[in-house]
Amino acid sequence: MEEKRECDLDTIDIPPVGEINHRNGNCYCYLCSCGEHLCPSLTPRDRPWSKAMYSSIYQKEFISKPFSPIKPVKLEGELLHSRQKMDLRTTKQEDFCEKPLERLNKSLNIDDNHKWKPKFLATSTYSSNFQDWKTPPPLKKLPKLLTEPIDIKLKANTTYADSFSLPDKIIENKPLESPTSRIIGINDFFYGETTHRNTFKPFKREQFTIKSRNKSLDYSQTESARSQYKSTYGKDFSSSPRKRTIFTLKQVKQMQ
């Protein structure tokens, strides 16, 4: 028996595609090599068969069954055959009689005890229990001063010009320059020079050609010549299979 060839749509990892993308042709259905995967956007004319997918099973199992007509339901009893009319009146007028309300007679004798109502006297004991603080005495006025205050106007005149002199007239007290110190004076011009050239020497780059071997771990380290770090990525991982770039039908038509 011939082995069935696997379809490309089953072997490749393809992202999910929505219904709108199928209608626009932005799908991967054209990669089907088995003929079982069909694009939902195809109309019945474009599909390989003319009939619908589920029409054959329905015609065989359900259409050939005999049709049984609906029989009328026979109701038994004399309720539906009676021609008596129904009286939609209530028995309120016959069962219930209207009774007049008994009004109270104003001439009834009421006891005097019910007529007399004592009054409520709301007198408090505040004035007898608590003292009257009365109004506080008025504050005593201070005696008038012998001298009245005088408003003094502020003159905005400073003594800056009299007290301070111009910068040209300032006498500079320069410190004595010592041969060992490099302190910058007031009028000395600062040069951006350092002692780097005199103190430090240029670093010589040495090439480590001999491999350094760690005896305890029993492995050899990589060479680090000229500060270049070489990795083993290209040797170990270059043979790994690369992922295939998959394009949709719409992208293929645009590239053509």
Instruction: Note the pLDDT tens digit of each residue in 155-203.
Output: 777 777 676 666 666 555 555 555 555 565 555 555 566 666 666 666 6
Q: Rounded to an integer, what distance in angstroms lies between the CA atom of residue 12 and that of residue 17? A: 14
- Six token digits for residue 82: 């009676």
Residue type, 14: I
Instruction: Select the more confidently predicted residue: 168 or 27.
Output: 27
Q: What is the pLDDT of residue 256?
A: 73
158: in domain: no
First and final C-alpha spacing in the chain = 39
Residue 253, pLDDT > 50, answer yes
Determine the structural domain holding residue 28 and report its residue range.
8-63
Number of compact structural domains in the chain:
1
With vertex at residue 154, the alpha carbon angle to CA 150 and CA 158, rounded to the nearest 5 degrees, is 145
Residue 101 has pLDDT above 50, yes or no: yes
Q: Which of 6, 41, 5 is nearest to 249 (CA)?
A: 41
Is residue 58 one of the residues assigned to a domain? yes
Q: Which residue has the higher pLDDT, 58 or 38?
A: 38
**In the structure, what pLDDT confidence band is assigned to residue 19 with cuts at 50, 70 and 90?**
confident
pTM (2 decimals)?
0.24
Residue 12 domain-assigned?
yes
Query: Residues 199-237, buried b or exposed e (16+ Cβ, 10 A)?
Result: eeeeeeeeeeeeeeeeeeeeeeeeeeeeeeeeeeeeeee
In a domain, 255, yes or no: no
Q: Is residue 13 part of a domain?
A: yes
Two structure tokens written together for 57 = 């099973």
- 90-94, 98-102, 204-208, 243-247 — most confident range: 243-247
Pair of tokens at residue 246: 């998959």
